[in-house]
């Protein structure tokens, strides 16, 4: 495709002698954070439902793939064609119900076949655990969900989402005990255990905890903006409002959107 070839040629030009000094100096590690940032910006564009924004962010993610491929080609390791061919081979191999004679009844069976074929392929890196290959650099909520899912595939899991509730109550009690003891390390450990249990509940309820938390963050921002707006209307700084006043405005904003948010106290709305 000529548009894709154009992008590859642009990256080659940027990294060539006489091109862009910054682009020429980059290596895989120096731009590794960029793909994470671009991926988050892509998700933000998807959430915004703005097609122009989405188009732009898809381009930025694609640019990172081509950039890394250009760096690898300069190192004489592989090029973008190798990346594309490996991807095409993998997609064909993992979809035997489309490109072969396999038969599947539904999407759940597709997923099971995909995982079976993935394990059969083996890995380019030695793995001794079912958890190997899940990058620890993932955002913590996503990493937690992935390691829980992996453990669940071999039967180490709760049977039902409701089974997690007692565990969450137990972990919340241990957080309270740690707070009373005033041991910072213990508090951190127990809060981590509580969050881990909550991710389990979300996963078994077929809820993406990252998406759920992002949705709540959005609601918090919208309602806190109402507090700031009211303060400006009164000619005050936000901190000059009393906590009771802030709570009243919060409740009004909450009722306006007709969405229930459960608070854990005057200072903590979620």
The model's pTM is 0.63
Q: What are 139-167's pLDDT values in tens digits?
A: 899 999 999 999 998 899 999 999 999 99
Give the confidence band of 36 by pLDDT, cuts at 50, 70, 90: confident
Q: Are residues 232 and 190 in the same domain?
A: no
Neighbours of 200 (CB within 10 A): 22
Q: Dihedrals φ, ψ of 263, to 5°?
A: -95, 155
pLDDT score recorded for residue 266: 41
> What is residue 127's DSSP assignment?
-
- pLDDT above 90: residue 52: yes
What integer is the mean pLDDT of 1-21?
95
C-beta pairs of 74-81 under 8 Å, 24+ apart in sequence = 74/15, 80/8
Question: Residue 25 in contact with residue 71, Cβ under 8 Å?
Answer: no
Q: Are residues 71 and 114 in the same domain?
A: no
Sign of torsion, CA 107 108 114 116? negative
Neighbours of 178 (CB within 10 A): 19
Total of domains in the chain: 4
What integer is the mean pLDDT of 181-188?
95
Is residue 169 in some structural domain?
yes
Quote the CA–CA distance of 194 and 168 in Å, as a whole number: 6
Q: What is the DSSP string of 235-254?
A: T--GGGS-HHHHHHHHHHHH
Is residue 7 in some structural domain?
yes
Q: Are residues 149 and 218 in the same domain?
A: no
Is residue 268 in some structural domain?
no
Quote the CA–CA distance of 144 and 198 in Å, as a whole number: 10
pLDDT score recorded for residue 40: 87
Is residue 24 in some structural domain?
yes
Is residue 264 in some structural domain?
no
Q: Are residues 219 and 167 in the same domain?
A: no
Q: Are residues 22 and 76 in the same domain?
A: yes
Q: Which residues pair with 263 in a beta bridge?
A: 269
Question: Range of 121's domain?
Answer: 94-125
Q: Are residues 175 and 186 in the same domain?
A: yes
Q: Are residues 221 and 195 in the same domain?
A: no
Enumerate helices (H) and strands (E) in the chain, giving the number of each: 12, 0
Q: Are residues 186 and 230 in the same domain?
A: no
Q: Are residues 81 and 100 in the same domain?
A: no
Q: Are residues 187 and 169 in the same domain?
A: yes
Share of the chain above pLDDT 70, in %: 93
Q: CATH number of the domain at 189, please.
A: 1.10.287.1080
Is residue 12 in some structural domain?
yes
Report the range of poorest mean pLDDT among 136-140, 193-197, 254-258: 254-258
């Amino acid at each position: 495709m000529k548009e894709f070839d154009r992008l590859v040629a642009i990256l080659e030009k940027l990294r060539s002698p006489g091109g862009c000094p910054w682009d020429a100096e980059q290596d895989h590690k120096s731009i590794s954070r960029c793909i994470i940032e671009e991926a988050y910006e892509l998700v933000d564009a998807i959430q915004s439902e703005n097609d122009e924004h989405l188009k732009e962010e898809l381009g930025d993610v694609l640019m990172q793939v081509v950039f890394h491929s250009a760096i690898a080609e300069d190192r004489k390791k592989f090029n973008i064609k190798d990346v594309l061919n490996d991807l095409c081979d993998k997609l064909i191999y993992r979809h035997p119900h489309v490109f072969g004679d396999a038969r599947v009844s539904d999407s759940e069976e597709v997923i099971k076949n995909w995982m079976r074929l993935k394990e059969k392929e083996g890995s380019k890196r030695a793995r001794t655990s079912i958890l190997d290959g899940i990058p620890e650099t993932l955002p913590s909520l996503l990493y937690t969900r992935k390691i829980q899912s992996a453990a669940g595939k071999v039967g180490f899991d709760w049977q039902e989402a409701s089974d997690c509730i007692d565990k969450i109550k137990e972990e919340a009690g241990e957080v309270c005990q740690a707070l009373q003891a005033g041991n910072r390390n213990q508090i951190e450990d127990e809060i981590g255990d509580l969050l881990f249990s909550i991710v389990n509940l979300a996963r078994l309820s077929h809820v993406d905890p990252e998406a759920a938390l992002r949705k709540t963050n959005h609601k918090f921002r919208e309602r806190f903006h109402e507090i700031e707006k009211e303060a400006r209307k009164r000619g005050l700084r936000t901190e000059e409002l009393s906590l009771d006043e802030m709570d009243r405005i919060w409740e009004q904003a909450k009722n306006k959107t007709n969405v229930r948010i459960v608070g854990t106290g005057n200072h903590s709305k979620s």
